[in-house]
């Protein structure tokens, strides 16, 4: 696990942070080694600038796994951004409860609640991508720059566009199954470090052998 005090993984600059060490909202969970880079704003302000419409009244969560890479300007839009389509009007009458003589507990009726946002492990989210409420992104997926993700993304799938659509799988289905079984991101630091060459070179067989030796 990374040191709890360490914010910046690079001594050369402070545009990249270990996200779990700058997030304080208990409804946002971030795994070890996940990074966020921002060359426009202070990356330490991620939860204010990038996690939007995220209000306590909804009890919704943002869950991000380990070893994710989140590029500058990526946004996570939660349920309060979704004006309801169940009503005859999309106007936020319940939010303006005082103006319309409504009860405060009716506020969540102003939007459609689609649930949490869940991001798996080893996910790369590109520049200014937008992830909407209720979406689950599988392990190893890649989200293209400025994509708008409205639906779940399968593991190890590259998506892009508005709305985001699958472009291709990163590996064969057999290889994907093997990677999901290996879960290398859960290995101890020493084991990952010892097998970085195999991870970086795409040597799946060596990783499998390493796991079998444990």
**Catalytic positions:** 83
- Under a CB-based contact definition with an 8 Å cutoff, are residues 131 and 75 in contact? yes
């Amino acid at each position: 696990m990374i040191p709890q005090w360490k914010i910046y993984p690079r001594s050369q600059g402070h545009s990249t942070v270990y996200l779990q060490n700058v997030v304080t909202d208990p409804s946002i969970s971030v795994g070890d080694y996940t990074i966020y880079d921002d060359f426009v704003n202070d990356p330490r302000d991620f939860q204010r600038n990038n996690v939007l419409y995220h209000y306590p009244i909804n009890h919704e969560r943002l869950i991000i796994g380990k070893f994710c890479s989140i590029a500058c300007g990526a946004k996570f839009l939660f349920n309060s951004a979704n004006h309801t389509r169940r009503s005859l009007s999309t106007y936020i009458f319940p939010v303006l409860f005082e103006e319309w003589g409504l009860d405060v507990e009716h506020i969540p009726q102003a939007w459609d609640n689609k649930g949490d946002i869940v991001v798996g492990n080893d996910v790369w989210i590109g520049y200014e991508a937008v992830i909407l409420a209720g979406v689950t992104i599988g392990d190893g997926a890649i989200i293209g720059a400025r994509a708008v993700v409205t639906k779940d993304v399968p593991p190890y799938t590259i998506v892009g566009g508005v709305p985001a659509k699958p472009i291709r799988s990163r590996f064969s289905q057999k290889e994907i199954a093997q990677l999901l079984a290996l879960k290398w991101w859960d290995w101890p630091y020493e084991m990952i470090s010892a097998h970085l060459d195999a991870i970086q070179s795409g040597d799946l067989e060596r990783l499998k052998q390493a796991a079998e030796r444990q």
